[in-house]
Amino acid sequence: MRKYLYAEGKDPMIVDGCQEIDGWHDSPLAFVKTTDFGVDPDDAVKVQCLGESIEGVKDCCNGLLNLHLMSLKQLREFANTNFKGIKARSKKGIIARIEAHNDDSSRYH
């Protein structure tokens, strides 16, 4: 499995799942400033929500790197978690729908 690694001030890099690099982290949370997102660092609930949101995006991005390595069951779980309403009978069908959805979404960013 592949994953993204993050370092402050640098673009994320894709590595093999077991690879670690000094100064790089599995999550951007190590260097995120809550104030960059308009969240007061003393507001524990909002800080928790921000952290969960960032982790959710990170998990989705890592999953997108590994679509073709997932079993049909894993793909269905991934699609259900990250792309509500995507259903298909085969791995190929689920992957095609996820990729099409992702391509459509990227036009707006």
Give the model confidence (pLDDT) of 20-36 as tens digits.
Answer: 999 999 999 989 999 99
Task: State the pLDDT confidence band at 14, using cuts at 50, 70 and 90.
Answer: very high
DSSP-derived 3-state class of residue 53: helix
Cα angle at 98 between 95 and 101, to 5 degrees?
150
Q: What predicted TM-score, i.e. pTM, was given to this entire model?
A: 0.80
Q: pLDDT value at position 6?
A: 96
Task: State the pLDDT confidence band at 103, using cuts at 50, 70 and 90.
Answer: confident
Residue 105 scores a pLDDT above 70: no
Q: pLDDT value at position 85?
A: 85
Among 4, 42, 40, which Cα is nearest to 21's?
A: 4
For residue 5, list its beta bridge partners: 13
Q: Which CA distances in Å does 82 have to 16, 61, 97, 108?
A: 22, 10, 12, 18
Residue 109 scores a pLDDT above 50: no
Q: Domain coordinates of the chain in residue numbers? A: 1-52, 66-109
Q: Which two tokens stand for residue 77?
A: 């779980």
